[in-house]
């Protein structure tokens, strides 16, 4: 459900009235403001005054009033248990005061306040250490980045697998390009600035989307070359025995914990880090232990490890909004 700012404009009068009724807001230089004296930075005594202005001097609404109206509507209409706000880190003060005001307002009016969380993110930097911009100094448009990522990925696929039909290379290039852009953002701790680098985000090694996608391709190729579907050939599988098998199995068991951490902290980089570690564990296993061997029990358990790796990798990538590919 998408409800724009204009939807709440006729609801701000209730905000003004209730804040005044509960003596939470007061007039200051013609504006209606809320002070938070329990917070030194937002108190009346702060050196730099930063009241939460809920109505401007000219009587018009602003982000504060519409955000409060939105909070009330979501709590009462949608019965929200939790509300997550995703913005640039420069909005931290605004949301800190919004949450303080909302808590006091809902308590005074005997309403249940949803859990409020501000998921803020840092700045994407160019290799000069400044906010990424075009050569002319304008903000970079997302579509322009996606187009360039797609072309660069297509060039890499063409260099790596020239035997593939061009249409397939184009399709794979688009999938990798978009995935690389998305993963570069999600794999960084969201509260940290990070440097945008084409060479890094499109690399087939390291903590990148191409590396993870290629790991899935390698797993699937084992089954394809064996004439099996992923998940077949596991009958009679025994417990892991070799160090590489055991390490891979243990890493597979850590998926739920990584996912829980990412969800609780709302930091997807935890999931990205886990997937990178899983791909590395699979790479070690792949190099140390042959999968297609004569011993049926050994072959079965290694195929089982391969299929479980494929399932977890593909699930993790899809949770990040990345669709795996069959070939690269």
CATH number of the domain bearing residue 231? 1.10.730.10
CATH number of the domain bearing residue 38? 3.40.50.620
Evaluate the CA torsion angle 195, 199, 203, 209 in order and state its sign. Answer: positive
Q: What is the DSSP string of 276-319?
A: HHHHHHHHHHHHHS-SS-S-HHHHHHHHHHHHHHHHHHHHHHHH
Q: Which of 53, 48, 44, 46 is nearest to 19 (CA)?
A: 53
Report residues of the chain scoring pLDDT below 70.
135-136
What pTM value is reported for the model? 0.87
Mention every residue, 6+ apart, whose C-beta is less than 8 A from residue 231: 307
Q: What local confidence, expressed as pLDDT, does residue 129 receive?
A: 86
* pLDDT more than 70, % of the chain: 99
Residue 127 in any domain: the answer is no
Query: Looking at the structure, do residues 149 and 278 belong to the same domain, yes or no?
Result: yes
Cα gap 40→261, rounded to integer Å: 32
Query: Looking at the structure, do residues 50 and 106 belong to the same domain, yes or no?
Result: yes
Cα gap 145→152, rounded to integer Å: 10
Q: What local confidence, expressed as pLDDT, does residue 135 receive?
A: 67
Which structural domain range is residue 58 located in?
Answer: 5-121
Residue 249 in any domain: the answer is yes
Mention every residue, 6+ apart, whose C-beta is less than 8 A from residue 246: 240
* pLDDT more than 90, % of the chain: 90
Question: Hey, what are 276's tokens?
Answer: 């990178």
| C-alpha dihedral (130, 131, 137, 141), degrees to nearest 10 | 150
Query: Looking at the structure, do residues 275 and 172 belong to the same domain, yes or no?
Result: yes
Query: Looking at the structure, do residues 45 and 91 belong to the same domain, yes or no?
Result: yes
**Domain edge (last residue) among 121, 151, 172:** 121
Q: What local confidence, expressed as pLDDT, does residue 140 receive?
A: 82
Q: What local confidence, expressed as pLDDT, does residue 287 receive?
A: 96
Query: Looking at the structure, do residues 115 and 148 belong to the same domain, yes or no?
Result: no
**Domain edge (last residue) among 121, 152, 167:** 121
């Amino acid at each position: 459900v998408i409800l724009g700012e204009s939807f709440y404009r006729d609801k701000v009068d209730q905000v003004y009235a209730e804040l005044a009724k509960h003596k939470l807001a007061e007039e200051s230089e013609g504006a209606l403001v809320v002070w938070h004296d329990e917070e030194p930075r937002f108190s009346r005594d702060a050196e730099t005054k930063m009241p939460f202005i809920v109505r401007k001097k000219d009587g018009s609404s602003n982000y504060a009033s519409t955000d409060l109206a939105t909070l009330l509507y979501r709590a009462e209409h949608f019965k929200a248990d939790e509300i997550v706000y995703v913005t640039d880190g420069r909005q931290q003060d605004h949301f800190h005061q919004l949450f303080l005001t909302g808590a006091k307002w809902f308590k005074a009016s005997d309403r249940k306040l949803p859990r409020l969380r501000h998921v803020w993110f840092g700045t994407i930097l160019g290799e000069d250490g400044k906010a990424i911009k075009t050569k002319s100094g304008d903000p970079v448009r997302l579509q322009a980045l996606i187009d360039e990522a797609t072309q660069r990925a297509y060039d890499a696929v063409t260099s790596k697998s020239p035997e593939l039909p061009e249409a397939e290379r184009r399709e794979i290039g688009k999938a990798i390009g978009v995935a690389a852009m998305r993963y570069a953002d999600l794999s960084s701790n969201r509260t940290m600035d990070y440097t945008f680098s084409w060479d890094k985000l499109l690399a087939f090694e390291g903590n990148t989307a191409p590396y993870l996608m290629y790991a899935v391709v390698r797993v699937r190729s084992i089954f394809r070359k064996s004439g099996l579907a992923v998940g077949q050939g596991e009958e009679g599988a025994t417990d892991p025995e070799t160090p590489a098998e055991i390490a891979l199995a243990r890493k597979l068991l850590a998926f739920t914990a990584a996912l829980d951490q990412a969800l609780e902290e709302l930091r997807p980089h935890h999931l990205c880090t886990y997937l990178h570690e899983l791909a590395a564990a699979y790479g070690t296993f792949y190099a140390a232990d042959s999968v297609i061997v004569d011993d049926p029990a050994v072959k079965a358990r290694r195929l089982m490890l391969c299929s479980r790796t494929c399932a977890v990798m593909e699930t993790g990538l899809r949770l990040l909004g990345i669709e795996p590919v069959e070939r690269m």
